[in-house]
Copies of this chain bind each other. A is one copy, B any other.
Amino acid sequence: MTVSAEPKATNVHWHHGEINRDDRASILGHKGVTLWFTGLSGSGKSTVAVALEKALAARGVLSYRLDGDNIRLGINSNLGFSAEDRKENIRRVGEISRLFADSGVVVLSSFISPYLDDREMVRRIHKENDLEFLEVFVDCPLEEAESRDPKGLYKKARAGEIKGFTGIDDPYEAPTKPELHLRTDQLTLEQEVDVIIKNLQERGIII
């Protein structure tokens, strides 16, 4: 290699990249957005997210799921289940969702996130960065979620083996104005996916 005589430090302090959000949208053919799935344990949040991910991929849309599996075991492995830690869990996931949405990815974040305040915090994190945030209320009756009980958690909560379980001895504060309200007792999984896809199209996020 030859030694260059050119000065190279002229823009070292220049932290704003030349490539921006629009450029990334052009590369991808769609915009970034965070879809925040909230609902009871067993309501079907992850099931919808997995089905949606597949429908989006068939359209060439890059999506990525964030959920307890890749968050609690990774970046939030140093958080427990105290009230404070639960809030910090949601805050970090909100910030990560924001980064992914900024990168152009359609983020599918599935967390019970039972408190209005926490979800509003995540919404604010997005709005402050001029990013779209869609709250998706996976609205499943408690009796139905409890009868599914995919992880046996309701049983343990009823037996008092788990304390502070959402819907049993801790409240679920339902969204008051979700961008998408999926009534699982009225829609099939396919219909739920269709509703979301159409909504994303209407908003001009995907084609």
Q: Which of A's residues lie within 8 Å of B, judged by CB?
A: 1-15, 17-19, 22-31, 42, 44, 46-47, 49-50, 53-54, 57-70, 74-75, 78, 88, 91-92, 95-96, 98-100, 102-105, 125, 148, 150-151, 184-189, 191, 207
Structural contact, B26 and A61, CB atoms closer than 8 A = no
> Could you tell me the distance between the alpha carbons of A47 and B95 in the complex, rounded to whole angstroms?
25
| Known A12-B42, A15-B67: A62·B28 in contact at CB below 8 Å | yes
Structural contact, A17 and B65, CB atoms closer than 8 A = yes
Counting every copy of the chain, the complex holds: 2
Chain B neighbourhood of A1, CB < 8 A: 22, 25-26, 31, 186-187, 191
Chain B neighbourhood of A184, CB < 8 A: 8
Of the A-B pairs whose beta carbons lie under 8 Å apart in the complex, a sample of 24, sorted by A's number, is A1-B22, A1-B26, A1-B191, A3-B30, A3-B185, A3-B207, A4-B186, A8-B184, A8-B189, A9-B58, A9-B59, A12-B44, A12-B47, A14-B46, A14-B50, A17-B53, A19-B57, A27-B60, A28-B62, A62-B104, A70-B99, A74-B99, A78-B88, A105-B105
| Known A1-B31, A57-B23, A60-B27: A95·B74 in contact at CB below 8 Å | yes
Structural contact, B44 and A9, CB atoms closer than 8 A = yes
Chain B neighbourhood of A68, CB < 8 A: 15
> Could you tell me the distance between the alpha carbons of A140 and B97 in the complex, rounded to whole angstroms?
34
